[in-house]
């Protein structure tokens, strides 16, 4: 099997973020130097039966030279049927989700629940490998905070079944997206399986946390999740130590671009309902007044967004050239990393 690197050394990868990383989200990130991105997580059953909004989730832009898709599920036959549907499309790789801890996923035995059932997880991955035409990878959570053996057992089985890269989130299922990231367990995976890329994941929202995860895990490749919510400039800032935070003018430009791309995808009414959480993320942690941030929850038109952005400039007091604050590390979302 070809074990050549899927991602180059020092790659920064945007995680699949359920409810967020659609085409509009990715296009905004590309403006801030993102190179490697995922679709949102796709449910195997929904895809197999063509239920839900699969067409929108899987939509790929002509400019996307790299785009990965992530599949979640726990039934081998449904996973194979879903892979057959994905085979009709064009993706750079297919990732299998063994890490999502949210109740609606784990109650089906999928995501992080499946990751804890090593034998069945590997059987599911073998089912995917027997059907998919894509490069295969997996994203998982550590299974024990102190003993690397269970995590290594899962990783060994996935590699034997055909995984060509592994992304390891350094928290257990029980800790969702908060608390200590156990770098030592990620390092154990990286050192045990040097023949494949191991991507470190968890808690990266600044240069300091990025340098820590690289140093402590030995991984040069890092996946970004919560840290890029409302801050796609993190890609640029981590790739270039001399990069400055965005100016107010650039911040406004990217926010408006992102929301207009959503309108193009969904129509203005639907897009603006979805955009409220996106705009709130862009405002959060950057020193804007709480009253302005609260207005994001009532946006109902592009005109309303333009008015909010104009007033964001007014309250900043120093014009478009001002460099706006980076979001505070303690003021990030704790929700949709997969």
Among candidate residues 177, 183, 158, the one with its CA nearest the CA of residue 227: 177
**What is the predicted pLDDT for the residue at 317?**
47
Cβ pair 139, 111 in contact under 8 A: no
Q: Tens place of pLDDT for every residue, the chain, 338 residues? A: 333 458 999 999 999 998 999 999 999 999 999 999 999 999 999 999 887 667 788 999 999 999 999 999 999 999 999 999 999 999 999 999 999 988 899 999 999 999 999 999 999 999 999 999 999 999 999 999 999 999 999 999 999 999 999 999 999 876 667 678 999 999 999 999 999 999 999 999 999 999 999 999 999 999 999 999 999 999 999 999 899 889 999 999 999 999 999 999 999 999 999 999 999 999 998 888 888 989 999 999 999 999 999 988 766 544 454 556 666 443 444 434 44
**What is the predicted pLDDT for the residue at 276?**
97
Superfamily of domain 12-239: Aldolase class I (3.20.20.70)
Q: Which two tokens stand for residue 204?
A: 């990266």
The domain locations on the chain are 12-239, 248-316
């Amino acid at each position: 099997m070809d074990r050549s690197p899927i991602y180059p050394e020092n790659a920064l990868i945007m995680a699949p973020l359920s409810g967020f990383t659609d085409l509009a989200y990715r296009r905004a990130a590309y403006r801030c130097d993102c190179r490697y991105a995922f679709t949102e997580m796709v449910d195997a059953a929904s895809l197999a039966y063509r239920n839900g909004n699969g067409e929108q989730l899987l939509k790929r832009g002509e400019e996307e030279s790299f785009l990965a898709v992530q599949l979640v599920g726990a039934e081998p036959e449904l996973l194979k049927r879903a892979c057959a549907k994905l085979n009709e499309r064009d993706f750079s790789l297919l990732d299998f989700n063994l890490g999502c801890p949210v109740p609606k996923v784990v109650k089906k035995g999928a995501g992080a629940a499946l990751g804890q059932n090593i034998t069945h997880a590997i059987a599911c991955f073998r089912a995917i490998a027997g059907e998919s035409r894509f490069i295969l990878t997996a994203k998982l959570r550590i299974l024990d905070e102190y003993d690397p053996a269970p995590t290594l057992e899962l990783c060994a089985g996935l590699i034997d079944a055909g995984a060509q890269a592994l992304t390891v989130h350094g928290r257990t299922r029980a800790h969702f997206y908060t608390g200590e990231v156990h770098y030592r367990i990620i390092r154990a995976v990286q050192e045990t399986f040097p023949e494949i890329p191991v991507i470190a994941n968890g808690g990266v929202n600044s240069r300091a946390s990025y340098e820590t995860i690289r140093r402590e895990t030995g991984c040069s490749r890092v996946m970004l999740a919560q840290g890029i919510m409302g801050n796609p400039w993190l890609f640029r800032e981590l790739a270039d130590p001399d990069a400055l935070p965005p100016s107010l003018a650039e911040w406004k430009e990217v926010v408006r671009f992102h929301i207009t791309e959503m309108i193009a995808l969904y129509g203005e009414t639907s897009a603006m309902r979805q955009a409220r959480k996106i705009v709130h993320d862009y405002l959060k942690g950057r020193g804007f007044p709480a009253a302005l941030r609260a207005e994001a929850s009532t946006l109902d038109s592009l005109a309303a967004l333009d008015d909010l952005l104009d007033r964001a400039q007014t309250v900043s007091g120093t014009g478009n050239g001002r460099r706006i604050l980076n979001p505070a590390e303690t003021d990030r979302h704790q929700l949709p990393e997969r």
